[in-house]
Amino acid sequence: MADRERTFVMVKPDGVQRGLIGEIVSRFEDRGLKLVAGKFTRLDDDHAREHYAEHVDKPFFDDLTDFITSGPVFAMVWEGQDAVAQVRRMMGETDPAESAPGTIRGDYGLDLGRNVVHGSDTEEGSAQREIELFFDDDEQVDYERIDEPWLYE
């Protein structure tokens, strides 16, 4: 598979509470992306602060970390051709009000602070860092999906 990459996705506490984990997983699987790791967990304050470290000097940082630690999350690693870009398009804009219908945030989000899902924005930067922050190498499973020859040239 050409341009195969991995990206990090997290269903946030609002998505978990609303029972959207299965719907979100199904959307990525239907697209042809391959789930290689998944973990249902609850972030502590230190983990949340490390995850959102690039926002530490922004006025919304404390609200962001308070929210992400307010309930369980479902962390995942997805693999596929141009996975980072595909996931970003499928999630929609950060602000659900600006997200197109058919995107995850466009269909399920109503508020910037409750936008259901987080996804890495670059492979070399945030995806690698976020994957390493949530998953050890042995928690990521390499395998070939039976439909890969039908998905990729």
> What domains, with CATH codes, occur in the chain?
4-151 (3.30.70.141)
Q: How many other CB atoms are found less than 10 A from the CB of residue 111?
A: 11
Q: What is the tens place of the pLDDT at every residue in 75-119?
A: 999 999 999 999 999 999 999 999 999 999 999 999 999 999 999
Mean pLDDT for the chain?
A: 95
Residue type, 32: G
Q: Is 103 helix (H, G, I), strand (E, B) or coil?
A: strand
Among 90, 68, 86, which Cα is nearest to 123's?
86
Angle CA(149)–CA(150)–CA(151) in degrees, nearest 5?
95
Cα distances from 95 to residues 22, 37, 55, 91, 107, in angstroms, run 22, 27, 16, 10, 12
Q: In this prediction, what percent of the chain has a pLDDT beyond 70?
A: 98
Locate 10 and state its tokens: 């997290």
CA 111 to CA 94: how far, in whole Å? 9
The structure's pTM equals 0.94
Give the count of alpha carbons within 13 A of 39, CB side only.
Answer: 16
Inter-axis angle of helices 83-91 and 21-31, nearest 10: 130
Q: Has 118 been annotated as catalytic?
A: yes
